[in-house]
Structure 1
Amino acid sequence: MSKLQVYRASAGSGKTYKLTQEYIMLLFDEPLNYRHTLAVTFTNKATAEMRTRILNSLSDLANREIKNPEHLKELQSRFALSENEVRQKAETLLGQLLHDYSKFSISTIDSFFQKVTRSFAHEMGLPIGFRLELEAKHIMMQAIDQLILEMDKPEHRETKNWLIEFAGDKMERDNSWNISGEIEKISTQIFNETYQASAILLSRQLKDKRYLSTYKNALWEICDNVDKQISEIGMQGLTLISHYKLDISEDFSGKSRSKVKVFERMANLENHLELEKFAKLLDGVEEWTRKDNKPEKNMAITEAYHSGLHALLVKAAEIIEQKSKDYHTAKSILKQLNALGLIQDVYDNMMKISREQNVFMISGTNYLLARIIDDNDTPFIYEKTGTRYSNFMIDEFQDTSALQYKNFIPLVRDSLASGKHSLIVGDVKQAIYRWRNSDWNLLADAVERDYSTYGVDIETLDTNWRSSPDIIKFNNSFFTLAAGILQRQFNRLIPDDISNQPHIMAMQSKISKAYFDVVQKHSPKKSELGGDIYIKVIEASKKEDFMEEAIGTAISRIEELLRSGFEPSEISVLVRNNKEGVEITNAMLSGAYHSKKEALDVISNESLILSKSEAVKLIIEQLKFVRNPDDQLSASFVRLHIMKQQTLNKDLSSEESAGQLDASLSLSGNDSETAWKNYLSKLGLLREKPFYELVESLIELLPNQIKKSNSVYLQSFLSLCLDYINRESADLNQ
């Protein structure tokens, strides 16, 4: 039996180096270990990097012209080999790997579980030749559209009534009847592992609209009963105040800001369950009276207090303490219930569409595998996959989900029980994939608990080999301070009456624990390397104003760096979300914020979106026109685009423009209409071509410089078209 090795690896701490070293150690220990070792990480890019790093390291070790290659000393020490012996063995191992490359098992977590899924297709009830669908959202959108389009069918009468009620509630709540957005938002829960685990139990109730209506009425009854009791208390209090001829905004302590105004809020049901807003009034009549009141006024307040005001607030406090939890829970459920009531209908439609298209959504893989693996021992899993893995290396462990972790447990335990080697690498501070069910608590807590029988060796890689000392010092100070502040702020929000509960006590140190290893050392080789940290705090009352100033500040700073001699490729802009990325990318490309109104060269995912390409836009509009020659809007767009290109490209040589439709036309001047009709006629000749060939023909007709400047977009668009043909249809009319 062996222990599980855990590496806590912060940014720049040599994680890939360590993984490569561990893998090569396994190969030196047993040359065929690559056939029985599974290394998984989170992205295709990381997979390619790890694979390349291992091969390059073996190549460097085998190359006698490279002095002191990485891992040489460690291998000599671990296996008591001479330098020549290490190099000879590395050469042999490299040859083995390259000649048996298909057994070199480094993949993403999703790819590994896809392989297992295909092995268990029969047990899962999946059809022969099914296709795994990686992007399930478009199936979800089809399902929602189908739900709305088919609601007039007799068999969907209950669903239709629910949809109408949903639209009415939404109209009343926020003056909008468009329910698609809310249905889409709640339907994303279908991909949530927590929902999947309870979906079977909930499906019958969620499908039964009569059950949901009864449930909704019960929730409203909870809320209405509390509202009625609190409202009556408020009105009784106001009646008493009026009876004693008191002015609630003038006579009580605090005047217009008096806590006694809680009776108005209760009567009007406005923030009426906030006990902390009037708790002080329960301490005694002195909290009600004012020192500068006339004696008879304070006497009237005292009489009103003893005649029932105090008793009313005591009663209100009891109701709030006893029923506010149920009240707020019911209110929260009611906000989501209309959309939640449709989630099973959407799911059923998704399953129907999947069967029709012979696809299986990868989002359901982890849950189905968990059910199968849970009932079988590890050898059966290996028999089905056709490969037995003895060693496991799991990278970016903080990004694994609870079900992925559960599915790995029997495999890793089998490895450790057999005395083999398994390790995980991760950093809870870098957990960024919550939207994909990642759970950083697994690395923080679960691993030590679940593998305690075998033992867990934890090593923190505490040296940052990438950054300069100044950057590292700043990060050490900032994140240590920030984690402490955030933990204290969180702890202040915990009510005293639950602070001693075990799971709440654990939360009171959760953030600090996650950042306990945040402090890093710097590489001695980078001691002389400088660095600069510049922080500007922007204060703005509106988010739009903040973004305006933030973008301007960022671009001004970029200009300073460029003038200082930095290359554009050395500058990166980080943003919080895609929307902000689009805004600052557009700002840099427009030149509006530049002192000389010049555009900045920028590459980003946002700038490479297909919809940003004028060439792709033109092709799409041409396709629309080919599909429907009566589409005058598309025809106008095409014509304007061609005229624009002619204006921009007057200097094209006749040789370059020969055979290119838009360069050979003259859509301005006396012959413009004739030229336009000729163009449409030529475009019509392409109508009979298959969809993919049609797109290729339209691309071929673009001017050469447009094809060159838009090559990335055009290649991506062709790939998208091919994917669509394979997934949906080759018919332009679909």
Structure 2
Amino acid sequence: MPATFRIYSSSAGSGKTYQLTKEYLKLALGSEDPAYFKQVLAITFTNDAAGEMKQRIIGALRKFAYPKAGETDALLAGVAEELAAEGLLPRRTETAEERQEEVRRRARETFRLVLYHYADFAVSTIDSFVQRIVTAFTRELELPATFEVELDTDAVLQTAVAALLDKVNRDPNSQLLARTLTEYALSRADEGKSWNNLPDELAGFGQFLFNETVHEAVAQLQTLTLQDFRRLHDTMRQRREAIENLFREVGTLATEALAEAGVTDADLYQGRSGIFGYATKWEERLLPDKEANSYVRTTLDQDKWYSGKVKTAADRQRVDAAKPVLQTAYDQFEKLRDVLLPQYLLLTAMQPYLFHASLLSELNKIVEQVSRERNVVLISEFNRRIAAIVLKEPVPFLYERLGERYAHLLIDEFQDTSVLQWNNLLPLVENSVGKDNLNLAVGDAKQAIYRWRGGEMEQILRLHQGDTAALAARATEPETRRLLQERYQGLQGRLEPKSLNVNYRSAAEIVDFNNEFFGHLRTQHPDFALVQDLFEPGFRQTVPGRTSPPSPLSRAPHPLAPSPKGEGELALDSSSKNSSGSPLSFSGEGAGG
């Protein structure tokens, strides 16, 4: 079974855009049909990247079609030879010149059609592609027939928060909501904190409504009502109080026993810093960093109980009488901390956000109402609306027409693609792979910068490793997990990992430093599986002229080997200085686009 989904791990400066352009040209020119480019969908992340890719593809087609006299083209030669090796050129093209001329002929016809049918030249951002789907299926996605895309989610959220607070004053049916807000304000006052910033807090927490990373958890929270959250709040509060009472009881018994024996902190080793303070300060036993200190352990391990002020036999007798009580208090506190402290800390961490979570559903209803009134759809809604269909249907009808139209899918900057975006694209890839068509994804997990808006670098890492089971297992809903497992099953045996490790952009010293740095990170964090996979030795970079990447611990200088200036090559002359006085001079068109 041929590998038809190629995963490129492309390090910085290694010619990612160059490789994408080359693969696109091979697909577009590998067919006798000059309109075949219409069946290739290339997706990238930003408008600038999409514009650059379009410019490179069209520029290459024009250069192929209308070459300058006497000019050699390394990209043309590479495309022609690879197409011939794959059997996509006529057998009559026996020489390199004949093969290149055939590619030029095809390029002229394709270039002309691209100009006349530019709208079918499918190179766009992922957001633009998603918007096209949404626009074509407004009824199925339960959207207005005519709507505007709203990019400013903050403005809509601020309006929704204001409407929610206003609802308390105007709606007689909002007594539970009013009570919830009142109790929150009082709790903030009891903590000595201001409640005047309530609108800002709600708006900040409301951002989770638009966060793709936690959309499944938010959707589950929205199934709960305000009454459900009140019951949950009461249950959590009661459980916290019960745990506190258990700790208080141990501390109270110890305090009373010490008072009855007439023992004070001055009688015991290290006073309040020792066993006396440990047994009587029960509130501190509920803090994670207030475990028994060295003084307490010295008292118990070395039987060192008396302070320097204990001189007489009567004093020692008083302290001896308190020993069993203090020993029992220590044992009980240690057992309580071991069993109940993790639960107590979790409840303590959750409770401040329970109020915000209880209002998410109410806030989301108002956001939807504001959007309907303004006839807008938030751009963050697109992927969720599509996922609501794509992740529930084995053959999503949204892609029936697109699946027939696009035979190949090329995805750029894959490390910044969110889980929702990839899950929405997966049916297209699965359909194309099922027809033995080439697809590819390009990215570098080390360059992921969009995690704040849902980008998930682990996706390209696991696909490069062929570990699709790990990706399917991330889904929390059993039905979604089952459907993803079925779709990934179609990719088994079809994944082809590739690496672009030659850095055409940076000097050898920079490349060596990066290799050492990432190698050091991997050595220092052996227990973090993701770090081990991300910086495994196969991801090290090299520079032109080296046969293999250097060892991550190598410190020997490796000057760049001189190379002829030309397309896709980098020349470095360390003996001359440029106009700024730098001893390094770079020239040539780098492939590290």
- TM-score where L is the length of structure 1: 0.64
Deviations 1:633-669 (A, max 9, x none): xxxxxxxxxxxxxxxxxxxxxxxxxxxxxxxxxxxxx
State the match for 2:8 in structure 1.
7
Q: Distance in 2 between matches of 1:301 and 1:66?
A: 103
Picking from 383, 407, 419, the partner of 2:424 is 407
Q: 1:395 Cα deviation (Å)?
A: 1.0
State the match for 2:277 in structure 1.
261
Residue 183 in structure 1 maps to residue 202 in structure 2: yes
User: Which amino acid letter does the alignment assign opposite residue 165 of structure 1?
Assistant: E
Q: 1:374 Cα deviation (Å)?
A: 3.2
Picking from 357, 362, 380, the partner of 1:340 is 357
State the match for 1:632 in structure 2.
none
Residue 522 in structure 1 maps to residue 538 in structure 2: no
Q: Is the Cα contact below 8 Å between 1:233 and 1:312 reproduced in 2? A: yes
Picking from 202, 211, 226, the partner of 1:192 is 211
Q: Distance in 2 between matches of 1:213 and 1:49?
A: 54
Q: Distance in 1 between matches of 2:153 and 2:409?
A: 29
Q: 1:289 Cα deviation (Å)?
A: 1.4
- Between 218-227 and 369-378, the greater mean CA deviation after superposition: 369-378
Deviations 1:295-328 (A, max 9, x none): 86777656533x2222222222222222223222
Q: 1:423 Cα deviation (Å)?
A: 0.6
**Alpha carbons of structure 1 residues 474 and 246: separation in structure 2 relative to 1, 3 Å:** farther
Q: Is the Cα contact below 8 Å between 1:249 and 1:261 reproduced in 2? A: no
State the match for 2:531 in structure 1.
511
**Alpha carbons of structure 1 residues 303 and 22: separation in structure 2 relative to 1, 3 Å:** farther
Q: Distance in 1 between matches of 2:334 and 2:8?
A: 52
User: Which amino acid letter does the alignment assign opposite residue 262 of structure 1?
Assistant: Y
State the match for 2:68 in structure 1.
64
Deviations 1:436-455 (A, max 9, x none): 11122222225622365233
State the match for 1:54 in structure 2.
57
State the match for 1:42 in structure 2.
45
User: Which amino acid letter does the alignment assign opposite residue 515 of structure 2?
Assistant: N
User: Which amino acid letter does the alignment assign opposite residue 274 of structure 1?
Assistant: P
Q: 1:75 Cα deviation (Å)?
A: 1.7
User: Which amino acid letter does the alignment assign opposite residue 112 of structure 1?
Assistant: F
Q: Distance in 2 between matches of 1:131 and 1:346?
A: 21
Q: Is the Cα contact below 8 Å between 1:38 and 1:393 reproduced in 2? A: yes
User: Which amino acid letter does the alignment assign opposite residue 27 of structure 1?
Assistant: A
Q: Is the Cα contact below 8 Å between 1:289 and 1:298 reproduced in 2? A: no
Picking from 262, 265, 272, the partner of 2:286 is 272
Q: Distance in 2 between matches of 1:291 and 1:67?
A: 95
Q: 1:284 Cα deviation (Å)?
A: 8.0
State the match for 1:374 in structure 2.
391
State the match for 1:684 in structure 2.
none
Q: 1:8 Cα deviation (Å)?
A: 0.5
Q: Distance in 1 between matches of 2:112 and 2:289?
A: 74
Q: Is the Cα contact below 8 Å between 1:468 and 1:530 reproduced in 2? A: no
Q: 1:240 Cα deviation (Å)?
A: 3.8
Structure 2 residue runs without a partner (length 5+): 85-95, 469-487, 545-560, 564-569, 587-593
Deviations 1:229-275 (A, max 9, x none): 112212323344455555547732x6664365333431xx2352438
Q: Distance in 2 between matches of 1:150 and 1:185?
A: 19
Q: 1:468 Cα deviation (Å)?
A: 1.3
Q: Is the Cα contact below 8 Å between 2:7 and 2:460 reproduced in 1? A: no
Q: Distance in 2 between matches of 1:383 and 1:440?
A: 29
Q: Distance in 2 between matches of 1:239 and 1:66?
A: 101
State the match for 1:702 in structure 2.
none
Q: 1:121 Cα deviation (Å)?
A: 1.4
Q: Distance in 1 between matches of 2:445 and 2:317?
A: 62
State the match for 1:164 in structure 2.
182
State the match for 1:289 in structure 2.
304
**Alpha carbons of structure 1 residues 564 and 18: separation in structure 2 relative to 1, 3 Å:** closer
Deviations 1:538-583 (A, max 9, x none): xxxxxxxxxxxxxxxxxxxxxxxxx9768xxx9xxxxxxxxxxxxx
Q: 1:355 Cα deviation (Å)?
A: 0.7
SS at match of 1:460: strand
**Alpha carbons of structure 1 residues 335 and 423: separation in structure 2 relative to 1, 3 Å:** same
Q: Is the Cα contact below 8 Å between 2:28 and 2:40 reproduced in 1? A: no
SS at match of 1:6: strand
State the match for 1:92 in structure 2.
109
User: Which amino acid letter does the alignment assign opposite residue 364 of structure 1?
Assistant: E
SS at match of 1:425: strand
User: Which amino acid letter does the alignment assign opposite residue 68 of structure 1?
Assistant: T
State the match for 1:658 in structure 2.
none
Q: 1:219 Cα deviation (Å)?
A: 0.8
State the match for 2:518 in structure 1.
479
User: Which amino acid letter does the alignment assign opposite residue 43 of structure 2?
Assistant: V
SS at match of 2:492: coil
SS at match of 2:224: helix
State the match for 1:626 in structure 2.
none
Q: Is the Cα contact below 8 Å between 1:9 and 1:462 reproduced in 2? A: yes
Q: Is the Cα contact below 8 Å between 2:503 and 2:511 reproduced in 1? A: yes
Q: Distance in 2 between matches of 1:246 and 1:530?
A: 80
Q: Distance in 1 between matches of 2:581 and 2:15?
A: 29
State the match for 1:19 in structure 2.
20
State the match for 1:74 in structure 2.
78
Q: 1:378 Cα deviation (Å)?
A: 4.5
**Alpha carbons of structure 1 residues 17 and 439: separation in structure 2 relative to 1, 3 Å:** same
Within 5 A, what are the aligned runs for 1:255-654? 257-258=273-274, 261-266=277-282, 269-270=283-284, 272-274=286-288, 277-278=291-292, 285-287=300-302, 289=304, 303-305=321-323, 307-376=324-393, 378=395, 380-383=397-400, 388-445=405-462, 448=466, 449=468, 450=488, 453-485=492-524, 487=525, 491=527, 508-516=528-536, 517-523=538-544, 524=561, 525=563, 528=572
Residue 119 in structure 1 maps to residue 158 in structure 2: no
Q: Is the Cα contact below 8 Å between 1:464 and 1:521 reproduced in 2? A: yes
Q: Distance in 2 between matches of 1:256 and 1:316?
A: 17
Q: Distance in 2 between matches of 1:481 and 1:408?
A: 36
Q: Distance in 1 between matches of 2:376 and 2:356?
A: 26
Q: Distance in 2 between matches of 1:174 and 1:396?
A: 47
Deviations 1:199-226 (A, max 9, x none): 55433424x2x33222211111111111
**Alpha carbons of structure 1 residues 113 and 454: separation in structure 2 relative to 1, 3 Å:** farther
Deviations 1:65-90 (A, max 9, x none): 47333422322321335233333333
Within 5 A, what are the aligned runs for 1:130-279? 130-153=147-170, 154-177=172-195, 178-193=197-212, 195-206=214-225, 208=226, 210-248=227-265, 251-252=268-269, 257-258=273-274, 261-266=277-282, 269-270=283-284, 272-274=286-288, 277-278=291-292
**Alpha carbons of structure 1 residues 527 and 88: separation in structure 2 relative to 1, 3 Å:** closer
State the match for 1:105 in structure 2.
122
User: Which amino acid letter does the alignment assign opposite residue 312 of structure 1?
Assistant: A
State the match for 1:596 in structure 2.
none
**Alpha carbons of structure 1 residues 228 and 376: separation in structure 2 relative to 1, 3 Å:** closer
The answer to which structure has the higher helix fraction is 1
Q: 1:409 Cα deviation (Å)?
A: 1.5
**Alpha carbons of structure 1 residues 259 and 74: separation in structure 2 relative to 1, 3 Å:** farther
Q: Is the Cα contact below 8 Å between 2:411 and 2:442 reproduced in 1? A: yes
State the match for 2:480 in structure 1.
none
State percent identity of aligned pairs. Answer: 26
Q: 1:352 Cα deviation (Å)?
A: 0.6
Deviations 1:480-514 (A, max 9, x none): 213433x25xx4xxxxxxxxxxxxxxxx3221211
Q: Distance in 1 between matches of 2:573 and 2:511?
A: 11
